[in-house]
Every structure is written in structure tokens, then in C-alpha cells.
Amino acid sequence: MSPFPRAQIHAQLQTAARGRTARARGRALEHAVKTMFRSIPGVLSPIANAVDYADAGEIDLLIPNKPVNSGLWFLPRAFLCECKCWNVPVGAQEIRVFTDRLRERACPAGVLIATNGITGNARQLTAAHRHIARALEDGFEILVLDWDDLRSARSAKSFAELLYEKWINLKAFLTND
């Protein structure tokens, strides 16, 4: 665990929002999210850009977690985080790919950072929301965070509480928004 450096995270999120290239924006978002997770008690140092054994798929962050008496007690010992710094909402196809990566790595949970949200209607479970619900039925919990969520985190505690709120809403089968 490290401190929650708000100024550094804010600067990284600014670069993610306004960087010159898609690569620069994506890297800044990954760094901000990695820094945010590292600040939560029980979260060990995330592993960036983990590639599978066949070099067929890369995941932005693999996050080791010591869930007993930690800030993320509700998440498993390891979970994945994918960052999509897109100008459009993430669609159903990307949710399916993320679910497959969770399955391939035997991770029952993942966090999808979709800066502009995901497609479909959360209440009616259409488009990407439908695939998150289907993943849950198959035992995979996918929490979705957008720009507003990231910007609202002011401390490690508020970030962990935000993730808990997303998790409890998913488990209650309400919405992931």
C-alpha cells in the first residue's frame, strides 16, 4: 500500500483526457488506475501489461489482493483490470473478450475502466450491460468505472467504497452504472 497522491492522479487523469495520442492517453489512464489501486490497503503492486502464454492476449493490469481484512475484502486474491480510454462507450464485443480473459486466467472478477461508459441500457440489460449480466451468471463479476467514477475518488477509502458500491449493485443485479 502506498499513499493516495491526489495531485499525481489528477495530473495523470488530465493527460488521459487530453493527451496528444491515443497511446499517451491510454498509458496515463493505466498509470492513474494503477496508482489508485496501489493505495488501497491489502492491494499488492499491480502487474502491468500481463501477456498470456501464447502471446495472444494482453491485459492492462493484474492486481494481487490480500482480501482478508483489507480494503477490497469482497474481491478475490487476484483480479484483472482493463482500461479503455475511448471517445465512445465500450461495446458488447469488448465485454465478451474481457470475460474470456478472466476465464483464461481463472480470475473470477475484473474491473473495466470504460471512460465513456458501456453500451446499452443498464435497467433493461441491453448491449454491453447484457453481457455483464451473462458473465455474472457464469461466475464472473465485472465492475465498470467511468470518468465520473475515477474523478470522484478522493482517497484510497473513497476509491475502495466506490468499488464496493459497484460490486454490491452488481450482486444485487441492479445496475453497474
pLDDT for position 55: 57
**Residue 160 covered by a domain:** yes
For residue 177, is it within any domain? no
Q: Which residues are 42's β-sheet partners?
A: none
| pLDDT for position 54 | 56
Task: Note whether residue 1 is domain-resident.
Answer: no
Domain presence at residue 112? yes
Cα(164)–Cα(158) distance, integer angstroms = 10
Quote the number of domains for the chain: 1
* Residue at 138 is within a domain: yes
Q: Which residue has the cell 482480501?
A: 67
Q: pLDDT tens, position by position, for the chain (177 residues)?
A: 678 999 999 999 999 999 999 999 999 999 999 999 999 999 999 999 877 665 567 889 999 999 887 899 999 999 999 999 999 999 999 999 999 999 989 999 999 999 999 999 988 999 999 999 999 999 999 999 999 999 999 999 999 999 999 999 999 875 555
Report the CATH number at residue 80: 3.40.1350.10
Does residue 81 sit within a domain?
yes
Quick check: is 109 in a domain? yes
Residue 108 lies in a domain: yes
- Per the structure, the complete domain to which residue 116 belongs is given by 6-171
